[in-house]
């Protein structure tokens, strides 16, 4: 059975979402400052992304830089800011909270795509997005204990940034967005080097950061390439796979036991995402 271009996009974005769901484990489990994490994650991401750009570029790196244009540079800046918010959020709030807040991305993307891309939103997409939203509401409504506002706000800014990136990737598919992601990592590496002391680090933490950088780069490549092949709203909805999966990893690794509401709400989000993935339309 031949896999269509659309199906390839769905598979790539889905795998990316699964990988993204594990990144909170690195951010939460590495006991170093945010800027140190950003430095080393950025260094190893640059190595992977740089190799990818070099091998896939038909006209050379210099041409890729010239082809960035304002969309590419804007994506780099948004990506750098979103990554800072992403890492910071995990240091101040739970993995479950971050993943739940990230689940609002499809709704932000739908609004941005409707405004800037004039994309039509189907009844099916609205129905599935509503199911996902209900799942998020159930999860948030069942949350117990105090929520650290700093972490939640950072997670919200991350969601806004990722939504903007999804729309930019779709709007300008011929721009070298992987290179933009590489530049965003370089921005964070430079800032981290100025602000922190990244070379004062334990060996085990460095090993974990290598894994963090590699998985982040892999997820980014899959997300960018997959987003080019399918509608923006579909890509964003599939990405919400992270919402129900991340709390499960946190439960297995850190014993962060999800509440009943998290299981129920996460199940609804997963149902919406899987229904969207299996649909032929």
Range of the domain at 9: 5-120+146-239
The two tokens of residue 37 are 């994490």
Instruction: Determine, yes or no, domain membership for 253.
Output: no
Residues 53, 61 contacting (CB under 8 angstroms): yes
Instruction: Determine, yes or no, domain membership for 178.
Output: yes
Instruction: Determine, yes or no, domain membership for 245.
Output: no
Mean pLDDT by 10-residue block, N- to C-terminus, for the chain (281 residues)?
81 89 84 91 88 81 84 93 92 80 77 81 78 74 59 85 87 82 94 93 88 85 82 74 81 78 77 69 47
- Check residue 145 and give its pLDDT: 52
Residues 49, 178 contacting (CB under 8 angstroms): yes
- Check residue 237 and give its pLDDT: 73
As for how many domains the chain has, the answer is 1
- Check residue 119 and give its pLDDT: 79
Q: Which ranges of 30-68 would DSSP assign to H, the alpha helix?
A: 34-56, 61-66
- Check residue 281 and give its pLDDT: 47
Instruction: Determine, yes or no, domain membership for 281.
Output: no
Residues 250, 256 contacting (CB under 8 angstroms): yes
Instruction: Determine, yes or no, domain membership for 279.
Output: no
- Check residue 193 and give its pLDDT: 95
Give the whole-angstrom CA distance, residue 129 versus residue 35. Answer: 35
Instruction: Determine, yes or no, domain membership for 58.
Output: yes
């Amino acid at each position: 059975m031949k896999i269509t271009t659309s199906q390839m996009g769905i598979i790539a974005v889905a795998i990316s979402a699964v990988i993204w769901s594990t990144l909170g484990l690195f951010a939460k489990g590495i006991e170093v400052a945010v800027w140190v994490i950003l430095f080393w994650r950025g260094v190893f991401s640059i190595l992977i992304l740089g190799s990818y750009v070099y091998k896939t570029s038909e006209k050379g790196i210099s041409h890729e830089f010239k082809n960035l244009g304002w969309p590419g540079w804007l994506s780099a800046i948004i990506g750098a800011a979103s990554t800072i918010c992403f890492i910071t959020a995990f240091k101040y709030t739970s993995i479950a909270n971050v993943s739940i807040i990230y689940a609002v991305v499809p709704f932000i993307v739908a609004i941005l795509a409707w405004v800037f891309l004039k994309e039509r939103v189907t009844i099916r997409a609205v129905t599935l997005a509503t199911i996902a939203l209900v799942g998020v509401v159930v999860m948030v409504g069942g949350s117990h204990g105090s929520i650290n506002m700093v972490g939640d706000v950072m997670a919200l800014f991350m969601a806004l940034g990722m939504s903007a990136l999804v729309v930019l990737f779709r709007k300008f598919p011929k721009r070298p967005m992987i290179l933009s992601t590489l530049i965003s990592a370089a921005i964070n590496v430079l800032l981290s080097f100025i602000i922190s002391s990244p070379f004062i680090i334990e060996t085990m933490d460095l090993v974990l950061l290598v894994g963090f950088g590699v998985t982040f780069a892999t997820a980014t490549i899959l997300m960018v390439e997959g987003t080019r092949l399918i509608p923006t709203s579909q890509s964003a909805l599939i990405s919400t796979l992270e919402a129900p999966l991340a709390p499960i990893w946190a439960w297995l690794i850190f014993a962060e036991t999800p509440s009943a509401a998290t299981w129920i709400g996460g199940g609804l989000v997963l149902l919406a995402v899987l229904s969207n993935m299996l649909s032929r339309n």
